[in-house]
Amino acid sequence: MSGGAGKGGGPGKGKNSSGRGSGARELGVRLKTARGRTHSSQLWLERQLNDPYVARAKREGRRSRAIYKLIEINDKAKLLKPGQRVLDLGAAPGGWSQLAAEITDSVNGRGKVVAIDLLPIDPIPGVDFEQMDFMDDAAPDRLKAMLGGPADLVLSDMAANTVGHRATDHLRIIALVEAAAHFAVEVLAPGGAFLAKVFQGGTEGDVLALLKRDFAVVKHLKPAASRAGSSEMYVLATGFRGRKETVSAD
């Protein structure tokens, strides 16, 4: 999502259909430099054309290559189950929501998947979507109303817009992860889980303290579908202990 959240779409090494390695693959397509195209956009286009995850997503009718990151994490951690309530923060273009709807069976009304993003997405069967900034003051109450009860899993693939200043970009990343983590603590049912995209050095201090206080297990993961050269990784917190109610001193 531009302006606050979105699914990544970088390249990865060759994998077979199970998501496990089938060997590295060199770039095979080289584009002629077009007038007006920057060097960075040229490299991005070449990576897209040579990315096996992009090709696989098109072949399998997936919204984006990012779905394979969640597939790999879910295969290991067993986060998604039939009948769950799932919240997807930064859903565009919808790959994670698509997978959540399939596994929770929200398509048939058994589970429930609620998604939010600044950008619009094409409708997904079994997904209730709201085009809205997660950082908007009205977003928390709106999402709670859409969920209709405690969530079993909160997913966040949000990424802050960068300005090119490393310290500022780092603070924006941390702010998004902190906001997502605090909201997860508000809406999760006991035993629930929280999965969020971070970057190396992007979950520290207050964020980790919050997660370690409220969840039984907290760890970092880097799925194979994330580019090896990228600083992108994910923090997974499982075994939510439940909200700590404030006791009045009256």
Catalytic residue numbers read 197
CA separation (Å) from 51 to 23, 55, 69, 146, 225? 13, 7, 14, 36, 10
Residue 14 in contact with residue 168, Cβ under 8 Å? no
**Amino acid identity for residue 133 in this structure:** D
Annotated ligand binding at 137? The verdict is no
Burial of 148 (0-12, 13-18, 19+ CB in 10 A): exposed
Q: Is 61 annotated as a binding residue?
A: no
Phi-psi region for residue 144, left (φ > 0), alpha (ψ -120 to 50) or beta?
A: alpha
Q: What is the DSSP letter of 21?
A: B
Phi-psi region of 205 (alpha: psi -120 to 50; beta: other; left: phi over 0): left
Asked if 69 and 226 touch (Cβ cutoff 8 Å), the reply is yes
Using alpha carbons only, give the angle 228, 229, 235 rounded to the nearest 5 degrees: 65
Is 133 flagged in the annotation as binding? yes
Q: Alpha-carbon distance 167 to 165, whole Å? A: 6
Q: Is 96 annotated as a binding residue?
A: yes
Q: Judge whether 186 and 72 are in contact, CB under 8 Å.
A: no
Residue 95 backbone class (left: φ over 0; alpha: ψ -120 to 50; beta: rest): alpha
Please indicate if the annotation marks 117 as binding a ligand. Answer: yes
Q: Residue 166 in 3-state DSSP?
A: helix
Cis peptide before 93 (omega within 30 of 0): yes
Annotated binding-site members: 94, 96, 117, 133, 157
Annotated binding-site members for S-adenosyl-L-methionine: 94, 96, 117, 133, 157
